[in-house]
Amino acid sequence: MAAVLTALATIGCIGATTDSPAPLDVRTPGSWRRLAPMPTARQEVAVAVLDGRVFVIGGFGSGAEPAATVEAYDPTTDTWAARAPLPAPVHHAAAAVLDGRLFVAGGYTGGRVRWTPSATVYEYDAARNSWATRAPLRAPRGALALAALRGRLHAVGGSADGVRGAHEVYDPAADRWTEAPPLPTPRDHLAAVAFRGRLWAIGGRESFAGTQHTAVEIYDPATDTWAAGPPLPVGRGGLAAAALGDRLFVFGGEAPLRIFSATEMYEVAGDRWIGKDPMPTPRHGIGAGVVGGRIYVPGGATQPGYARTDVNEVYTP
């Protein structure tokens, strides 16, 4: 993957923009608006919401090198502020907030030459504007997904020497990770979100040029089992997901020589995905955060491979 990314960045690759093939909701498509840009253009970022602010963490900075940069967006003032950088630069990490505590897990160190999967886990202390190291993942990996569910963190998927179906659960009181039933479809560059009391693992891929998964797999903590969910209309990796009340949304993504503008919503009543107003700026390597009934999607890349951007857009359903 690193070699492919470097080659694409070097030649300045061009990708076709692809929207969702899902049936379009013409009555309530929602709307997008562009906001104050990120101070530092980055892709393959980790995104989470803490205290009403959207945190954008790490990613690829200039020269396709990993960044320790952390910036927080305040929707009430449409402004950004720098926060304490990560203790070490990382890209393709994952972030989630559990009971008011912000955690960042995994990712890769190294840039153009070599990517090294990381098991490191950090917790952000907002009062001190500092980071502390917590118990590491049992399986080092990047391009994983992280979500908070019922007082625990769930880290799923990712890749090291190949894609993983790893599923680890973090107990913050014990500062300990334990293994859980693995993801049925091993993949990286997936999205994960807690929705309707379960963990949804959405999309992802086998490799940059390999299988682009439509798989949606749902973990039920009550039974400790996975089940197949409604597949995405089209497979891709590097997408973002967010739950807003009784609605689940998926944004963007990447496949070989394609970049997605798709905004899709899972319709519970119809058990299907429907298309919404597409992203004004198609992107991958993104995250999404919910504040005040809106979904914020900052950063990412505007072409397959390396094409970082400072774009910050918000979707109102």
Q: What confidence tens digit (pLDDT) does each residue in 89-110 have?
A: 999 999 999 999 999 999 999 9
* Lookup: tokens for 244: 């807003």
Parent domain of 296: 2-316
User: Among residues 57, 32, 15, 70, which one has the least CA distance to residue 301?
Assistant: 15
Give dist(CA 108, CA 116) in Å, integer.
5
- Report the pLDDT value the prediction gives residue 14, as an integer from 0 to 100: 63
Q: What confidence tens digit (pLDDT) does each residue in 289-299 have?
A: 999 999 999 99
- Per-residue pLDDT for 218 more than 70? yes
16-18/258-260 β-pairing: parallel
At 45, give phi and psi (nearest 5°): -95, 165
DSSP for residue 257: T
Give dist(CA 147, CA 159) in Å, integer.
17
Give dist(CA 100, CA 92) in Å, integer.
23
Q: What confidence tens digit (pLDDT) does each residue in 118-128 have?
A: 999 999 999 99
Question: Residue 198 sits in a domain of what CATH number?
Answer: 2.120.10.80
CA torsion, points 76, 105, 160, 249, in degrees to nearest 10? -40
At 178, give phi and psi (nearest 5°): -130, 155
Number of domains present in the structure of the chain: 1
